[in-house]
Amino acid sequence: MKNLLIFASGSANGGGSGAGKLIENAISGKLEANIVGLISNHSSGGVYKLAQEFGIPFFHFISPEKEEYQYFFKRTKADFTALSGWIKHVIGLDPRNTFNIHPGPLPKFGGKGMYGHHVHEAVLNAYKNGKIKYSAVTMHFVTDEYDRGPICFEFDVPIYDSDTADTLGIRVNKYEHEWQYYVTNMIVTGKIYWDGKNPFSLVGKISQKDFFSL
């Protein structure tokens, strides 16, 4: 099995639920990967508690520099890097084996500052103005440019007229937990891949029409 390193910001008080689901699915065997490290920009909090609970090495990430990313990747002997609620800019990691989950449609609702609640607010505002009909759970490979790597998975999430950013966020998060491990497993087992340079080289993308056959 391949070694998987997880970057998850969480918060000083909690968070890290996506990383927690990846760990649970790795333990159950649904995700065919060894979790070799958890990294957070908070020295304590949800991600740190997950590491303690499951006996996974924890690293406090302070400076989002190219050398720091590469150091942790090499130190943990990782084969792949999963970003799960990671809010820092990523540079210097191999785009062929670095991937992210995003709580909204890309590329329109991505970029610097577009994470978590900010995404849900922007999506809901666009919905109310008749510009979109759905939110989404999106997974993509990571390049040095925020949220611009090739998309390998997108799942439409319904929006209701009664939604607030909070209720929409809860719904999106539910689907994130249901799909993240599945797509992650396809990447670490080589069913989804690309050459790291040409977006058109992407193989294995899951489209909306494929969901009924999964």
pLDDT-derived band of residue 63, with 50, 70 and 90 as boundaries?
confident
pLDDT in tens, 146-195: 999 999 999 999 999 999 999 999 999 999 999 999 999 999 999 999 99
Q: Of the CATH numbers 3.10.20.30, 3.40.50.170, 3.50.50.60, 1.20.1260.10, which one belongs to the domain with range 2-111+138-155+176-213?
A: 3.40.50.170
Does the pLDDT value for residue 209 go beyond 90?
A: no
Mean pLDDT for 62-88 is 93
CA 76 from centre of chain: 19
Helix (H, G, I), strand (E, B) or coil at 157: strand
Indicate whether 129 pLDDT > 90: yes
Ramachandran region, residue 100 (left: φ > 0; alpha: ψ -120 to 50; beta: rest): beta
pLDDT at site 210: 67
Average per-residue pLDDT for the chain = 94
SS3 197: coil
Q: Write down the domain spans for the chain.
A: 2-111+138-155+176-213
Alpha carbon distance 138, 105 (integer Å): 6
Average of pLDDT values for 192-208? 94
In tens, the pLDDT along 64-75 reads 789 999 999 999
Q: Where are the beta strands (DSSP E) in 55-191?
A: 58-60, 80-84, 98-102, 134-141, 151-158
Q: Which of 112, 85, 115 is nearest to 100 (CA)?
A: 85
Q: How far is CA 45 from CA 112, 128, 190, in A?
A: 23, 35, 33
Q: What is the pLDDT of residue 213?
A: 46
